Amino acid sequence: MESLKNDLLLRAARGEQTERVPVWMMRQAGRILAEYRAVREKAGSFIKLATNPELAAEVTIQPVDLLGVDGAIIFSDILVIPEAMGLPYEMEEKKGPVFPKVVQSVADIDSLRIAEPEADLAYVLDAIKIVKRELDGRVPLIGFAGAPFTIFCYMIEGRGSKTFSVAKKALYADPEFSHKLLQKITDSTIAYLKAQIAAGANLVQIFDSWAGILSPAQYREYSLPYIKQICDAISEAPVTVFAKGAFFARQEIGNLNCSVVGLDWNMDPTESRMLVPNKTLQGNLDPCVLYASYDQIRKEVRNMIEAFGTQRYIANLGHGVYPDTNPDKVRCFIDTVKEFATTSAL
């Protein structure tokens, strides 16, 4: 058994007592840090950085050293899964990910493979191994994947979208086709998360970034069952489910075989505690709070911790940190959690 010097995050995820609330930030390994931008520059592109294990490991560890977070999250992208299944993507400046080919027919689905992580995603697993060696037990490492529905959106739509109406059209127009693709993504994702854990990830997070575009009924049919399959399949490490915008599904997500439920900043902490009484909660400061003054950031962080309490709680933002955030404001957020959120402080 690995011994971690700081296992707050892992203990909070498991529902164990912690002497202080652990804190990390979605997108902490990224453009907010000048040190990240330098490595990204050296790599030449986002995708070259993400597929280079040494460089990916380097930027993964940066926020542990530079910001003092209680966990590292492997630098990667949720879209490595479609790529590993046979649907490559490109990252266009300002536009984000673009898939030259999209899935349009059952024949297209049949032509995709179920990802074999050791072959198709070796670069991520190698990066995890390097991170683990270099972290040397300082903090736990988080692995992650997109939720099948969110991945489905990109594979059908081919790019980001405000409404993902093309992808949703597929759900309404051809449920059988949609379930077939979702199942193939799910099988790939389960294999991938298990491989990340085997390579050294201490816990894993499922990002359902586009959950909020579905109606409650659609979410119940096209997203939740596949997240459930993943949660049921992963017993090796704690699983966090973060379904942005799926306020209506909090109770159902809380009933899954997961350890942690992630919340966005629309979701009230007290109400969320009532809806999800038996799980650890993670979140949920509005990333825009980090544009405020230091005093106001401290006030908002303290309000958040008072609302969540100090147990079964992992402090985080309600979404990824915005790239133009001042790193000193980020440190203010992290330091305030560390100073304020001890068992004795409340």
The answer to whether residues 160 and 97 touch, using CB atoms and an 8 Å cutoff, is yes
Nearer to its own copies, 90 or 286 (CB): 286
Nearer to its own copies, 32 or 195 (CB): 32
**Residue 36: φ, ψ to 5°:** -65, -50
Residue 291 annotated as catalytic = no
Q: How far is the CB of 50 from its own copies (least distance, A)?
A: 22
Exactly one of 15, 225, 292, 299 binds its own copies (CB under 8 A); which one? 292
Residue 40 annotated as catalytic = yes
| Contact between 123 and its own copies per CB under 8 A | no
The answer to whether residues 75 and 63 touch, using CB atoms and an 8 Å cutoff, is no
Question: Token match 């986002």: residue?
Answer: 46
Q: Within 296-335, which residues bind its own copies (CB under 8 A)?
A: 296, 318, 322, 324
Exactly one of 276, 287, 314, 336 binds its own copies (CB under 8 A); which one? 287
Residue 107, classified by CB atoms within 10 Å of its CB into exposed (0-12), middle (13-18) or buried (19+), is exposed
Residue 27 annotated as catalytic = yes
Q: Candidates 106-114, 146-154, 211-219, 228-236 — which segment interacts with its own copies by CB under 8 A?
A: 211-219
| Contact between 30 and its own copies per CB under 8 A | no
The CA distance from 291 to 332, in Å, is 11
| Contact between 17 and its own copies per CB under 8 A | no
The CA distance from 18 to 313, in Å, is 9
| DSSP strands (E only) in the chain | 72-73, 90-92, 96-98, 141-146, 203-208, 239-243, 260-262, 280-285, 313-317
Amino acid at 162: K
Q: How far is the CB of 91 from its own copies (least distance, A)?
A: 16
Q: Within 154-183, which residues bind its own copies (CB under 8 A)?
A: 160, 162-163, 165, 168-169, 171-173
| Contact between 343 and its own copies per CB under 8 A | no
The CA distance from 253 to 168, in Å, is 21
Q: How far is the CB of 255 from its own copies (least distance, A)?
A: 17
Catalytic center residues: 27, 31, 40, 77, 154
